[in-house]
Amino acid sequence: MRNIKLVLSTSLFFFTIAVSAQTKAYTLEECVLLALEKNISIQQSELDLASAEIDKDDAIGSFMPRINAQSQHIWNNGLSQNITNGLIENLTTQFSSFGGNIGVTLFNGKQNINQLSRANLNILARQYQLENMKDDVSLFVANAYLQVMFNRELEQVQRYQLELAEQELERTELSIEAGVLTEAEVFEIEANIASQEQAVIQAENAYRLSKISLAQLLLITDYENFDIAKEDFDIPFSEILTENPKVIYEKALTLRNDIKFGITNIEIAEKDIDLAKGALMPTLSAFYNYNTRISYSDRFIDSGKTIETPIGIVKQNGAIVVSEFPQREIVAPLSFSKQFGQNDGQSYGLSLNIPIFNGLSVKNNIKRRRLNLTRLENQFEQTKLDLENTINQAYNNAKGAFKFYEASEKTLFARQQAFEIAKQRFDAGVMNSFDYVQSRQRYQIAASDIIRAKFDYIFKLKVLEFYFGLEL
C-alpha cells in the first residue's frame, strides 16, 4: 500500500512540474500591462488620438500658402487657315499650356487661429480620454484578478475542510471499533464528506471560470495554461479611511481624467463658437498666377530680302510705281524653351470676400454651437455629481468592508475555538455526530466568510485609493 502511494506521489510530483513548466503565471501588474496593450477599446482610443494629431496638421496647413500647377496639351481639328498657302482647310493643330498659382489667406476672421487652438484642445481631450479608459480597464482587470485569488483561496479552504472530514471519518471508525461511538455516527460524517466534496467541486468550477474570464479579458485563448502568480495581499488599515469623503472628492476633481476630459470638451465647444462667428467676418486673400503657351505649328518669318511689287501707274507718263515688301518664309516652330519664356504671362492681386447674406446658415450654426456648449456644461455637472456619489459610496463601502473583515476575524476565531472543543468532545464520545458536524460547518462558513471579506475589502479600498490619486 505504501509503495502504491509512493508511486502515485512521485507521478503527481513530476506531472505538476511538467504542467508548471508550460503554465504562465501572471502577476497583477503583468495582467494590467497586458490588458492595456491588447484591449480593443484602448486601441480605438489611440486611433482617435492619432486622428486628432492629423487634424492639428490640417490646422497648421491653413496658415501655409496654396500652391497649384496645371498643364494641357490640346489637339484642334477643323477648318482653319493654312499659313503656307493661305487657304481655309481642315487641319489638325496642337499646342500646350502650362500654368501655376499661389494663394495665401491674409485674414479670415481668425478662423485658422481658432482651428489650430481647437486642434490642440482636441489632442488634449483624446489624451485624457485614453488615460481614463486605461484607468477603467486597470480597475476592471484588478477586480477580475482579485476574484481569481478569492476563488483559489476558497478552493484551498474547501479542500482542507474535505481532508479534515476524511480524517474525522477515520477517527470515527476507530472510535466505533473501540466502542466509544456507535455505528450510527458514521452516516452523519459520511454525509458531511459528500457535502464537502460537492463544495470542492463548486469551488473548482468557480476558480476555473474566474480564470477563464480573466484570460478572456486579456485576450488569452490558451485557458488551460493560464494562471495567476502566488501573491498575497496584506490587510492594513489605510489612512485614506480617516479622510473626509469631501476631501477625497475635491482631490479627485484635480486628478480624474474624466473630469479633465469634460473640462477640455467645454473649451472645445467654446472654440467652436468662435469658429462659427469667424464666418461672419470678411476674408482677405492674396494670389499670384503664371501661365505660358507652346505652339507646334509652322510660322512665317522675315527672310531679310525684299520683293518689288507694282502698286500703280503714273498717269502723266505711264510709269509703273512699285513698292518693296519684306519677303517672308515658312519655318518650323520655335524651340520649347524659347516659347516657354516668350509666351508667358503673370497676374497678381488681392481678393476680398465680404459675407452679406447667406440664408441665416452662419447665425444658425452659431446657435447650434451655443446649444452644444450648454449641453456639455450640463453633462460636466452631472459627471461631477456622479463622481461625488461614487466616492461617497466607495468610502462607505470600504469602511463597511473593513469593519466586516474585523468582525469576520472575531467570528472565525470564536468558531475555531468552538470547533476545537466540539472535536474534543466528539472524540471523547460525549457529543453526537450531528452536533459535531453542525459545529464544523459553522467553522467552515466562517473560514469562507473571512476570505470573501478580505478580498472585498481589498478591492473596495483600492477603488477608494484610486479616486484619491494613489496608484492601483
Instruction: Transcribe 184-207 into DSSP letters.
Output: HHHHHHHHHHHHHHHHHHHHHHHH
Longest CA pairwise span in the chain (Å): 178
Confidence of residue 11 (pLDDT cuts 50, 70, 90): very low
Residue 134, H or E segment:
helix 111-177
Question: Does residue 303 contact residue 331 with C-beta atoms inside 8 Å?
Answer: no
Q: For 252-263, write each residue's pLDDT tens digit.
A: 999 999 999 999
What sign has the CA pseudo-torsion 175, 179, 182, 187?
Answer: positive
Question: Does residue 469 contact residue 259 with C-beta atoms inside 8 Å?
Answer: no
pLDDT, residue 1, reads 38
Average pLDDT in the chain: 85
Confidence of residue 129 (pLDDT cuts 50, 70, 90): very high
Residue 139, H or E segment:
helix 111-177
User: Is a pLDDT exceeding 80 seen at residue 130?
Assistant: yes
* DSSP letter string, 439-472: HHHHHHHHHHHHHHHHHHHHHHHHHHHHHTT---
Confidence of residue 115 (pLDDT cuts 50, 70, 90): very high
Q: 401: how many CB neighbours lie within 10 A of its CB?
A: 20
Question: Does residue 197 contact residue 189 with C-beta atoms inside 8 Å?
Answer: no
Looking at per-residue confidence, does 13 or 113 come out higher?
A: 113
The full set of domains in the chain, from first to last, is: 29-64+108-281+360-472 (1.20.1600.10), 68-104+286-298+333-354 (no CATH), 301-330 (no CATH)
Could you give the CA distance from residue 292 to residue 304 in angstroms, rounded to a whole number?
29
The x, y and z cell numbers of residue 444, run together, are: 467552515
Burial of 228 (C-beta count, 10 Å sphere; 0-12/13-18/19+) = buried
Could you give the CA distance from residue 284 to residue 108 in angstroms, rounded to a whole number?
6
Q: 101: how many CB neighbours lie within 10 A of its CB?
A: 16
pLDDT, residue 79, reads 77
Lowest mean pLDDT among 15-29, 90-104, 191-205, 336-350: 15-29
What string of H, E and C letters represents the secondary structure of 205-233? HHHHHHHHHHHHHCCCCCHHHEEECCCCC
Could you give the CA distance from residue 38 to residue 137 in angstroms, rounded to a whole number?
11
Give me the torsion for CA of 141, 147, 148, 151, rounded to 10°: 180
The x, y and z cell numbers of residue 165, run together, are: 472530514
Cell numbers 494641357 correspond to: 72
Check residue 80 and give left, alpha or beta (phi > 0: left; psi -120 to 50: alpha). beta
How far, in Å, are 138, 395, 455 from residue 398 at the CA level?
19, 5, 11
Q: What percent of the chain has pLDDT over 90?
A: 41
Could you give the CA distance from residue 115 to residue 353 in angstroms, rounded to a whole number?
20
Confidence of residue 309 (pLDDT cuts 50, 70, 90): confident
Tell me what the mean pLDDT of segment 452-466 comes to: 86
pLDDT, residue 134, reads 92
C-alpha angle 372/53/38, rounded to 5°?
100
Whole-structure pTM value = 0.77
User: Is a pLDDT exceeding 60 seen at residue 21?
Assistant: no
Q: For 298-308, write each residue's pLDDT tens digit.
A: 777 777 777 77
Q: What percent of the chain has pLDDT over 70?
A: 90
What sign has the CA pseudo-torsion 326, 332, 335, 341?
Answer: positive
Tell me what the mean pLDDT of segment 11-23 comes to: 46
Could you give the CA distance from residue 290 to residue 67 in angstroms, rounded to a whole number?
11
Name every residue whose Cβ is closer than 8 Å to that of residue 89 and which is 6 or more positions away in sequence.
79, 80, 81, 82
